[in-house]
Amino acid sequence: MKGEYTPPTFRGDGFNCPHCGVFAHQDWYDVSLENAPVDEEKEASDDLALSYCDKCGSYAVWIKDEMIFPLPSVVPLPLEEMPDDVKEVYNEARNIMNASPRSAAALLRYAIQMLMYNLGEEGENINDVILDLRNKGLDVKIQTALDSVKVTGEEAINPGQIDPRDDDETAQVLFNLLNLIVDAMITQPMRVDEILDSLPSKKGSKKKSDEFLFRAKIGE
């Protein structure tokens, strides 16, 4: 399940990193301006600063209370249950989305293929892989959506290949589809297992039922 999102804030001790998307402690560094004479001590600016993510080791650049790098993203964060290697590619695509939706779309098609392998699918033909996932419970509407963004179907683009026809809308759909597949094939089964694990064991229930029937037979 997706964890609570804490947006980046100027001088904040911790928030969801704009690079890796993970909630992490942030170290802050003031930046000295280079407009002072060489023989004078340079003073750090109160308005210009860098935040450093303890999780991924990436920097963000701030002017006053506004983050200017990386640019804020409207792309949803990856689901918590997304496999780490897939999540890494997802976040890479998320970071470049504003600058190049086409590149982001290419990365996301590659990430979807990676997810297939994480789900135990090993077929070389992505159409066969998706069909197998349908047999395991994947909604047919997701396959239709994958066809529309050329992950599957006759016009499918090779994973990692840039399609000049891709645009911002295509990339947004791919982000959402990746999270939907994770939710359908990983998150929801995990939640069902958690619910089943919280129920009394069948063995215990059967034992109580047998004990009740025995007492009924002897007239207790």
- pLDDT for res 207: 53
Amino acid, res. 10: F
The label of the residue with tokens 């990430």 reads 111
Query: Which structure tokens are listed for 203?
Result: 């063995």
Q: Residue 212: its pLDDT value, please?
A: 47
pTM as predicted = 0.67
Would strands 66-69 and 59-63 be described as parallel, antiparallel, or unpaired? antiparallel
Could you list the beta-strand ranges (E) of the chain: 14-16, 23-32, 44-53, 59-63, 66-69
Place of tokens 């003073």: 43
**Cβ 161 vs Cβ 100: under 8 Å:** no
Calpha distance 89→107 (Å, rounded): 7
| pLDDT for the residue numbered 26 | 97
Q: What is the mean pLDDT of residues 179-192?
A: 92
The answer to whether position 25 is within a domain reads yes
Number of structural domains found in the chain: 2
Q: What are the φ/ψ torsions at residue 217 (nearest 5 degrees)?
A: -70, -35
What pLDDT sits at residue 31? 87
DSSP string for residues in 66-81: EEEESPP--SPPPPTT
Residue 17 included in any domain: yes
State residue 39's pLDDT score: 55
Whether residue 174 sits in one domain with residue 105? yes
* In a shared domain, residues 88 and 191: yes
The boundaries of the domain holding residue 132 are: 84-198
Instruction: Note the pLDDT tens digit of each residue in 120-162.
Output: 777 677 788 888 888 888 888 988 888 888 888 777 888 788 8
- What is d(CA 88, CA 176) in angstroms, rounded to the nearest whole number? 16
